[in-house]
Amino acid sequence: MGLALTVLGGSPAWPNPGQAASGYLVESDQARVLLDCGSGIASELRAHDPGPLTDIVISHFHADHWFDLVPLHYAYRYGSWNDRPRATLHLPPGGRNVLDQVAAVWDGSVETFEAAWDVMEYDPQLDLRIADMRFTFAPSLHYTTCYSIKIASGTSTIAYSADTAPTERLARFAHGADLFLCEASLKDAKGDSTERGHMDASEAGREAARARVKRLLLTHVPAENGNDFVLEKARAEYSGEIEIAHPGLRIEV
């Protein structure tokens, strides 16, 4: 097997009805990685148990990309996952301090999370090796520090935009990916504030075309935008296969 991506969530920050926020499983022969852990993902993992996670990787500290680390860590400490092999949690730089501050609200600390996982911070300048997968990072254009993430194993590559406005860097970073998981949060980028931090479906399609990716999976799409509208906008810019992320969708590359 190369890589397989399974959509667990994919909602924007205000979750779509019945759909968790950002969270995706990336699996190879040797690893099962949870990519982002937004609100609703812990419940999704409990409903559709994929088996032991080897690692968790977080793109940035907006709530819809990591908040469910709080309930998920209970699964490991007190729930039925407590006999599973320890997973490693990979946070953006400064992440240990973020967890420390969050847990301080209930008199906890980063050790609260360390009771569940090995907690590391990745260096976005370096490759991160997880078994037979290689993770690389590129800063995105967002309202807080955020990293687009590329995962390679053998000849298979998945590129994940995370949250971002269009950047010169993104298309280079995602170049030639077998699967491009790209956000399309906005209905129309013209309505975005002067400080850009997200894309609309036209822009996502344009980035996919520039990056010459083999397949585009749009995500972070508000239900109100309408799937037909979103697909039409993206198809006007990119001629490859396009889908919109929905829970349970699994793509092997």
Q: Report, in Å, the least distance between residue 113 CB and Zn ion.
A: 21
We find the least distance from the C-beta atom of residue 64 to Zn ion, in angstroms, to be 7
Contact segment (CB under 5 A) with Zn ion among 109-117, 156-164, 171-179, 188-196 equals: 156-164
The answer to whether 163 and 60 have CB atoms below 8 angstroms apart is yes
Angle between helices 201-211 and 227-235 (to 10 degrees): 40
Work out how close the CB of 131 gets to Zn ion at its nearest, in angstroms, rounded to a whole number: 28
Nearest approach, Cβ of 153 to Zn ion (angstroms)? Answer: 26
Distance of closest approach, residue 48 Cβ to Zn ion, in angstroms: 24
Total residues contacting Zn ion (rule CB under 5 A)? 2
Q: Does 220 bind Zn ion (CB under 5 A)?
A: no
Give the count of beta carbons closer than 10 Å to the beta carbon of residue 31: 18
In sequence order, the β-bridge partners of residue 252 are: 4
- 44 versus 163: smaller Cβ distance to Zn ion: 163
Contact 198, 13 (CB under 8 A): no
Residues 53-72 that bind Zn ion (CB under 5 A): 62
Q: Measure the CA–CA gap between 20 and 207, rounded to whole angstroms.
A: 25
Closest CB to Zn ion among residues 197, 205:
197
Only segment of 127-135, 161-169, 205-213, 224-232 that touches Zn ion (CB under 5 A): 161-169
Q: Closer to Zn ion at the Cβ: 73 or 220?
A: 220
Does 36 help bind Zn ion (rule: CB under 5 A)?
A: no
Residue 128 has phi, psi (to 5 degrees) of -110, 120
**In the complex, which residue's CB is closest to Zn ion?**
62
Shortest gap between Cβ of 62 and Zn ion (angstroms)?
3
Residue 216: C-alpha distances to residues 92, 104, 205 (Å)? 25, 40, 8
Q: Which is nearer to Zn ion, 62 or 233 (CB)?
A: 62
Tokens encoding 50: 């994929």
CB of 88 to Zn ion, least distance (A): 23
Could you give the strand order of the β-sheet that contains 4-7, starting from the edge strand earlier in sequence? Answer: 118-121, 88-91, 55-57, 32-35, 24-27, 4-7, 250-252
Contact 4, 252 (CB under 8 A): yes
CA distances from 84 to 4, 44, 53 (A): 22, 18, 9
Is the CB of 58 or the CB of 110 nearer to Zn ion?
A: 58
163 binds Zn ion per the rule CB under 5 A = yes
Our CB check for Zn ion shows the closer of 163 and 178 to be 163
Q: Which residues bind Zn ion (CB under 5 A)?
A: 62, 163
